[in-house]
Chain A
Amino acid sequence: MGNPFKKFRVDNLFFGSFAFLIVIMIGAAIWTSYSLTSNELATTASSNQHNLLNMLNNEITTRLTTIEQISLSTSRDNVLISLLSGSHSEDEFARYQQFKEVKQSLASLTNSIPLIEGIDVYMHKPQYGDSESYIQFRNLEEASRQYWAESVKRNDMAWTDEYRRQSFQGEVAVLSFVRTILNNNKLIGYLVMHVKADMLKEVLAGHSTGQISRMLLDASGNPILHIGSVPDGDSWSRRAAEMQGQSGVFRIQDSQSDSGSLLVYSRSRNSDWTMVELTPWSQITKGSLKLTKAIAAIGAVAILLTVILTMLISRQFTKPIKKLVGAMNQYSLEGENAKLPEDYENEFGYLFSGYRKQNEKIQELVQSLRQRHELQRRAEIDALQANINPHFLYNTLDQLNWMAIANGQEEISRILELMGRMFRIGLSNGNTFITVHEEMEHLSSYIEIQQIRFSGLLQFRSDIPEGLGSCYMPKMVLQPFVENAIIHGFHHRSQGEIEVVMRRLGDQLLITIEDDGVGLRSGGEPAVHKKSGGYGIRNVEERISAYFGNKYGVALNSREGGGTRVIVRLPLLEEQPERQIG
């Protein structure tokens, strides 16, 4: 992956890091607020629900207990017992009157207690029944086929859960309270009070609005009445076992919603009824969700602002960089270059001033390079010219030699031959460096010409140790000094001595040229400041300096006993050096 700060564009980096930071912060805020508030809400909700459930439980219990008590007092009614036990079976009129009386009192109960949907009496011989009445007298034999038959088997009284009962007004949802009526331990009938489920549900709902899921459990934990959506009986029995004590709360997973529900239950202190409320977790956390959404919205706005801000900031940051890059791209040696702004005082300011200084340096370098280039060009032209002249001269000398031989001029011919040799060595295929041996041959040729001129009065000695002859040195270094000695040192004289000694001194080659001429004038200036001699020596000095630097060079001084001593200091070159200049 590598360091992203080296890889991606600055503005993207800016935006990316800001966005990342904000996402982290907002995410943390969302998570924290959601988890804190939803737990807090759940606690609040469950405690509120506890209170409400207690209250509702009381209300419902009161109603159900009332029904139970009415049922009890009714079942103890002498007229009812007497009718059901058939104690007046011999007197049909009395029985009929009893029948009417029972019906009347039951009807009064039903009429005055709106909660009661109707009352069924199961008895032997119920012949005075009225199918279009709230009070039904039914045959005891039908009891075993009733919905409640199972629940009253083990108990002398029982509540059923909610079911739909066929009445003369159609189907009605009811809960039934069944009480067995015994006389002398003999079953004589059942008193079944049907309670309107809808009215109990209204109580169950209380003043709550919206979607509520509540239910009422009997002593054995079976739901007998519910509103809203609750788990079905099978999955319910498991839950019922978890409910211990007076009241409690726990969270359950169910099929209603993915996140489960909060279950709050409350058991009445003096009855067996348990009230249960189920609240979908999503409903409890609705507030948290709202908060979360609000934070998320703020986050989204923050991201949006970040986009704008980072774009502005990064533009400010990249603007100078772009200018710099633009200036670099457009840089040219000639003409006007882009001006960089000068009002930056920070890092960009340093960068700009650095760039400016560098440009100035480049300008200087280019300037000096140009000068050198010009010098070199001129030197090349000189060299070309110098190459042409000797060839022309050499050929001309050769023709002159042949002319001199033809004319019997032995001396001239010899001189021309020596000159030709000198030219050949001087050309030496354009090489700058020649062997010491060649240099000495060149010098010998020159001296032989001068000896012919001086008719043998010029004496020349050389001392070249063994091995030095094959070393290399710049050509035509010695000749100017010898020429200077002959022309100026032996001026007005017809004889003279010249000695050339070469010595190896470490990695240096020391060449001493001594003459016994007039020597130097006072002040160390050579006495040779006329045009020809001066040019030659200066040329040598410049060449040595150019080739090897100032460490090497030429020293002129007076020789003890008259004359001049020239010491030429050269590096000892055992091989031909690379050509350095043109």
Chain B
Amino acid sequence: MAFWKRLSFISAVAALFLPLAACGFGISGTLPSSEEELSIRTGDKTAGESIKLRIMWWGAQSRHKVTMKALEAYSKKHPNVTFEPDYSGMDGYLDRLSTQAAARNAPDIIQIDPGWVADWASRNQLADLTGAVDLTNVDGKLTKLGYINDKMYAVPLGSVAHGMIYDKAAMEKSAIPLPVNGWTWEDFFKLARESVPKLGVGQYVTKDYAGDVFAYSAYQYARGKGFVITDTGKFNIDKQVFLDWAYQWQDLRESGAVPPADVNASDKEFDPSADLMLKGIIMIRLSYSSSYGAWDSIKPGAYALVTMPRAEEAGGWLKPSMFFGISAASKHVEEAKSFVDWFINSEEAGAILGTSRGVPVNSTVADAVDSTFSVADQTGMILYNATLQDGQQWTPGASGWTNWIDKDWGLVRDELSFGKKSPEQAFDALRNAAKEYEG
């Protein structure tokens, strides 16, 4: 009895102090868990370390969407890798990328045009990818472009055909005959001239492509005069062909087949509020086989693709659409390589991306995901296959001409469109500008 009484007394006193004691023992609980510190201290790039890869590309909204999806899928497979995407339209892309690269702040993975590879590699801004990416199932013609001095600096992502897109519904409504694959430049200019009376107010046939380097390149190819720059880095615009071309456009401009200069200048590809075709202002414009989906997603079923007009030779060509390069300044080159490898070689990525960057370069992947292609993808494939038959052999031209293509042609384009220069003056301007670039 007394024992129990005493026990209860002591336990009552103990109960007073138990919370204190509990606090005291709680100290060990408040010690910071050292796991995080440990993982930081180990430092080496193990699978556990969380990595953020910056990736930058250009394209239309449809390409952004599937690319983001692909990044998500990759992060799901590799939880330690996340992405900081930076995407925009083509306009201003190169400027932005160049500025960042100059600040040694370029994203880890960058999408580059095949024409830039040589320039970038020569400036040591791309990491050496030789042997890092499995290219067994990729057409050697495509991979060749990524090699500079026997080192690979860029990995091709897809292959596209250059052609045209037209607003089928609008043309049918205006009783304009639809173009067919294999049509000629003669057919094109005839169609444009003859359509003018059928146009409504503020409606035009096509954009003013007089000063457009890609449109003119196709024309010069078709006339059998090759690319505007030779592989050895020489100015290669055939004056007669250029003048033929420019004067035909001048006719179209004067007859009202193409929009006035300010309207023409306001055009922004794929932008629903600024794309002249999407706005119903024009009916025909240049397109890559891979771009069909971008327009089709905005106005489903309205548009159709047609091959680039031909002349003596085919006007269209197949080209690698774009490449992935890895910034030489990247701190996560290995992770970036793994991602690029997955991007082109996995069926998972292939299924997500479709033909957003052209026909997948990995033939096995292309065959495997063929059945999963959307109608839009398949439409692009028809143009691709049509061009494949006798398409021109595309060349990126010599390195170092990027600005001539981008800036000098851009100015000439505007000057022609605004009527500031005659075709002869335009040719002279290009000729003179090219002197700076010729070795």
Contact = CB atoms under 8 A, between A and B. Distances in A.
A131 B17 contact: no
Interface stretch (B18-26, B173-181, B203-211): B18-26
A11 B24 contact: no
B88 A111 contact: no
Contact of B415 (A93, A103, A294, A298): A93
Contacts of A539: none
Contacts of A133: 88-89, 91-92
Contact of B14 (A92, A97, A290, A303): A303
A168 interface: yes
A92 B418 contact: yes
Interface in B91-128: 91-92, 95-96, 98-100, 102-103, 105
Nearest to A97: B414
Nearest to B419: A93
Interface string A7-26: 00101100110010001001
Interface of A: 9, 11-12, 15-16, 19, 23, 26, 92-93, 96-97, 100, 103-104, 107-108, 110-112, 114, 127-135, 168-169, 290, 292-294, 296-300, 303, 307
A293 B27 contact: yes
A93 B274 contact: no
List the 5 closest pairs (A to B, CB-CB), nearest first. A297-B24, A300-B21, A93-B418, A111-B99, A132-B89
Nearest to B92: A107
Given A11-B6, A92-B261, A112-B99, A297 B92 contact: no
Given A96-B265, A300-B20, A135 B92 contact: yes
Contacts of A299: 17, 20, 24
Contacts of A292: 23
Nearest to B418: A93
Contact of B92 (A114, A134, A300): A134
Contact of A296 (B23, B273, B274, B420): B23
Contacts of B88: 132-134, 168-169
Contacts of A294: 24, 27
- Report the contact-size class of chain B (Cβ under 8 Å from the partner): 35 or more
B95 A108 contact: yes
A114 B95 CA distance: 14
B268 interface: yes
Contacts of A23: 16-17
Nearest to A128: B266
Interface string B397-439: 0000000000000000011001110000000000000000000
B335 interface: no
26 contacts: A23-B17, A93-B420, A96-B265, A103-B92, A107-B95, A110-B96, A111-B96, A112-B103, A129-B274, A130-B89, A130-B274, A131-B274, A132-B89, A132-B271, A133-B88, A169-B88, A293-B26, A293-B27, A296-B23, A297-B23, A297-B25, A298-B24, A299-B20, A299-B24, A300-B17, A300-B18
B201 interface: no
Given A9-B6, A134-B88, A303-B13, A293 B23 contact: yes
A513 B92 CA distance: 166
B268 A131 contact: yes
Contacts of B232: none
Contacts of B6: 9, 11-12
A127 B262 contact: yes
B13 A15 contact: yes
A470 B247 CA distance: 185
A300 B99 contact: no
Given A9-B6, A92-B262, A290-B27, 14 more contacts: A93-B261, A97-B414, A108-B95, A111-B96, A128-B266, A129-B268, A130-B92, A132-B89, A132-B91, A133-B92, A169-B85, A296-B20, A299-B17, A303-B14
A297 B266 contact: no
A11 B10 CA distance: 11
A114 B26 contact: no
Interface string B24-44: 111100100000000000000
Contacts of B92: 103, 107, 130, 133-135
Given A92-B262, A107-B96, A132 B20 contact: no
A96 B27 contact: no
Contacts, number: 119
A311 to B, nearest CB: 8
Interface centre among B89, B99, B100 (most CB of A within 10 A): B99
B9 A12 contact: yes
A322 B96 CA distance: 97
A93 B414 contact: yes
Given A96-B265, A135-B92, A294-B27, A130 B20 contact: no
A108 B271 contact: no
A132 B420 CA distance: 28
A111 B95 contact: yes
B87 interface: yes
Nearest to A91: B418
B7 to A, nearest CB: 11
A96 B24 contact: no
B99 A96 contact: no
Nearest to B98: A111
Contacts of A127: 262, 266
A430 B271 CA distance: 151
Contacts of B274: 129-131
A134 B93 CA distance: 10
B23 A96 contact: no
Interface in B132-183: none
A111 B106 CA distance: 10
A114 to B, nearest CB: 7
Contacts of B16: 23
Interface centre among A100, A108, A135, A293 (most CB of B within 10 A): A293
Contacts of B10: 15, 307
Contacts of A26: 20
B318 to A, nearest CB: 27
Given A114-B105, A132-B268, A297 B100 contact: no
A16 B268 CA distance: 89
B357 to A, nearest CB: 17
B205 to A, nearest CB: 21
A107 B98 CA distance: 12
A303 B26 CA distance: 18
A64 to B, nearest CB: 20
A104 B95 contact: yes
Contact of A108 (B18, B99, B266): B99
Nearest to B260: A92
Given A112-B103, A130-B91, A135-B92, A297 B20 contact: yes
Contacts of B265: 96, 128
A299 B262 CA distance: 86
A296 B21 contact: yes
Contacts of A108: 95, 99
Contacts of B98: 111
Nearest to B267: A128
B262 A96 contact: yes
Interface string B181-218: 00000000000000000000000000000000000000
Nearest to A299: B20
Given A93-B418, A296-B21, A130 B13 contact: no
Nearest to A126: B266
Contacts of A130: 89, 91-92, 268, 271, 274
A112 B101 CA distance: 10
Contacts of B20: 26, 296-297, 299-300
A434 to B, nearest CB: 65
Interface in B235-291: 261-262, 265-266, 268, 270-271, 273-274
A300 B24 contact: yes
A143 B160 CA distance: 42
A104 B407 CA distance: 11
Contacts of A296: 20-21, 23-24
Contacts of A112: 99, 102-103
Contacts of B103: 112, 114
